């Protein structure tokens, strides 16, 4: 008897071993499926979708996490497609036998047996529906179940479900058809999205919707009979109208999003952009450009950073991205432009550190001539002997040019080169005294980073755009704490009457 038991165990072990070897062989013959390429998503610091971009195959395919989807939508999809999803191992034998029985009795295919996992296999590797491909699909389902958790399989499914045209995944469909994220859908909208993937080419929300209403109401009634959702909620869902509509994926902060798209190579980028600050900056810039339009100025740009950690929280590349007449699609933050008088602050800080200047030291504001170069003040006046802080606050040109000459233009250019001013580095052999009055090229991004050093005790830090970048990277000291404080204190005394309501953002 003991020998017979050993034989039984031996045979069982052989069967298990054979099955395992067969699976290993099949696994080698059919390598694991690669996931599809997903659309790039760019998010604000609170998770709001700023923008997204088509995949290389021109699909709106937004990768979807389970926590991004309403519980009602997940419940409706799972109950409709595969109510045993959380209990089977990729294949549901009961469903297979039931489908075979119904199809044999009726002499044609009227019922399917594909589980959500099998559908995921088909979505990852679309093939003609043959018996052989169905067998491969079953193997793929086992393969997926071994490699992914149930939640991960469901997330792939939610990301790839077809919704007609180039729309794939519940997140894409939610934004395009309902102009909202999938966790903000009504019950009626959730059930509608659960219905469309069965026939995405016919059940299009951007076309006639009579058939969609019929299908949706059928499932609402079924869920009502099954008591899947609250009866009152289902009754309301039956009465909710279906609008034939197609929205666009959000396009907030377009210059910022295009910049991020070129800078990072990731599917999902959580940026530091603060939508409240962004909206304030956009409104201020728009109003300011309108106010100075009479001067022939038709555009502008704003870059807002948090001086505590150099995070970019506001980014307006132009006053109106869609204004072609004012070249609104040119990014004024990265474009090379004349800095005007803005480099004077850095020059004065450098001179303070070099020991050749103090805030109350007198500078001459009189006519000068440096080998034929005769700078003038903006108002064409001369103020005689003035203090250094007066010269900086009033942006006097003549004292600044004289100061650059005394400090050494080469030394100052080397400082700017070390601060990352790329165009100055390229043109440094051609630059002279006029650079302090705007005779050079810089970007607003470079300037903002430089000015942030005055608020960070003279340390220059890289700008932080997304969550993956370190906010606490060690900076480079370009000015002393003392000179940084002096320049910041002098500049804070400037009263900009042309820009109002900035109190909350000036610290």
194 vs 188: CA distance, rounded Å: 10
Specify the 3-state DSSP secondary structure of 273. Answer: coil
Between CA 119 and CA 131 the distance in angstroms is 15
What are the distances in angstroms from CA 417 to CA 123, 347, 472?
53, 13, 23
E-only strand ranges, 347-400: 362-365, 384-387
CB atoms within 10 A of CB 370: 13
> 418: alpha, beta or left, given left = phi > 0 and alpha = psi -120 to 50?
alpha
d(CA 331, CA 326): 12
In this structure, the number of other CB atoms found within 10 A of the CB of residue 71 comes to 10
Which residues are tagged catalytic? 81, 341
Number of other residues whose CB lies within 10 A of the CB of residue 105:
9
The dihedral through the CA atoms of 404, 406, 412, 413 has a sign that is: positive
Estimate the crossing angle of helix 131-147 against helix 116-124, to 10 degrees.
100
3-state secondary structure 217-264: HHHHHHHHHCCCCCHHHHHHHHHCCCCCCCCCCCCCCHHHHHHHHHHC
Record the tokens describing residue 114, joined without a space: 């594909």
Q: Which tokens hold the place of 423?
A: 């165009």
């Amino acid at each position: 008897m003991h020998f017979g038991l050993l034989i039984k165990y031996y045979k069982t072990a052989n069967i298990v071993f054979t099955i395992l070897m067969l699976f290993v062989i099949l696994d080698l013959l059919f390598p694991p499926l690669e996931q599809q390429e997903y659309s790039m998503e760019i998010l604000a610091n609170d998770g709001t979708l700023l923008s997204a971009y088509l995949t290389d195959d021109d699909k709106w395919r937004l990768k979807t996490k389970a926590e991004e989807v309403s519980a009602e939508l997940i419940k409706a999809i799972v109950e409709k497609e595969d109510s045993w999803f959380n209990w089977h191992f990729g294949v549901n034998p009961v469903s297979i036998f039931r489908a075979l029985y119904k199809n044999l009795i009726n002499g044609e295919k009227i019922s399917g047996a594909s589980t959500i996992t099998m559908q995921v296999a088909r979505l990852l590797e679309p093939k003609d529906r043959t018996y052989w491909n169905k067998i491969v699909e079953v193997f793929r389902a086992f393969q997926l179940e071994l490699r992914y958790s149930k939640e991960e399989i469901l997330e792939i499914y939610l990301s790839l479900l077809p919704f007609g045209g180039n729309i794939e995944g519940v997140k894409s469909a939610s934004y395009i058809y309902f102009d909202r994220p999938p966790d903000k859908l009504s019950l009626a909208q959730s059930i509608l999205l659960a219905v469309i993937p069965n026939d995405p080419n016919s059940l299009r929300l951007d076309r006639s919707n009579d058939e969609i209403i019929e299908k949706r109401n059928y499932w609402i009634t079924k869920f009502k009979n099954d008591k899947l959702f609250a009866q009152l909620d289902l009754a309301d869902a039956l009465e909710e109208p279906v609008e034939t509509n197609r929205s666009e994926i959000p396009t907030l902060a377009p210059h910022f999003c295009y910049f991020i798209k070129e800078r990072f190579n990731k599917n999902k980028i959580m940026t530091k952009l603060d939508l409240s600050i962004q909206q304030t900056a956009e409104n201020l810039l728009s109003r300011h450009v309108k106010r100075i339009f009479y001067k022939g100025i038709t555009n502008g740009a704003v870059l807002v950073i948090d001086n505590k950690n150099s995070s970019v929280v506001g980014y307006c590349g132009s006053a109106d991205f869609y204004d072609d007449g004012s070249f609104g699609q040119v990014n004024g933050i990265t474009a090379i432009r004349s800095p005007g008088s803005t480099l004077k602050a850095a020059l004065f800080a450098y001179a303070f550190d070099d020991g050749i200047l103090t805030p109350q030291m007198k500078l001459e504001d009189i006519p000068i001539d440096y080998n034929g170069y005769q700078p003038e003040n903006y108002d064409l006046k001369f103020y005689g002997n003035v203090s250094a802080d007066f010269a900086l606050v009033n942006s006097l040109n003549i004292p600044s040019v004289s100061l650059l000459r005394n400090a050494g233009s080469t030394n100052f250019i080397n400082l700017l080169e070390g601060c990352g001013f790329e165009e100055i580095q390229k043109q440094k052999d051609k630059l002279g005294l006029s650079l302090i009055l705007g005779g050079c090229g810089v970007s607003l991004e470079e300037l903002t980073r430089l000015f942030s050093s005055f608020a960070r005790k003279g340390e220059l830090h890289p700008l932080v755009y997304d969550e993956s970048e370190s906010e606490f990277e060690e900076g480079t000291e370009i000015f002393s704490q003392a000179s940084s404080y002096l320049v910041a204190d002098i500049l804070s005394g400037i009263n900009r009457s042309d820009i109002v309501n900035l109190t909350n953002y000036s610290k």
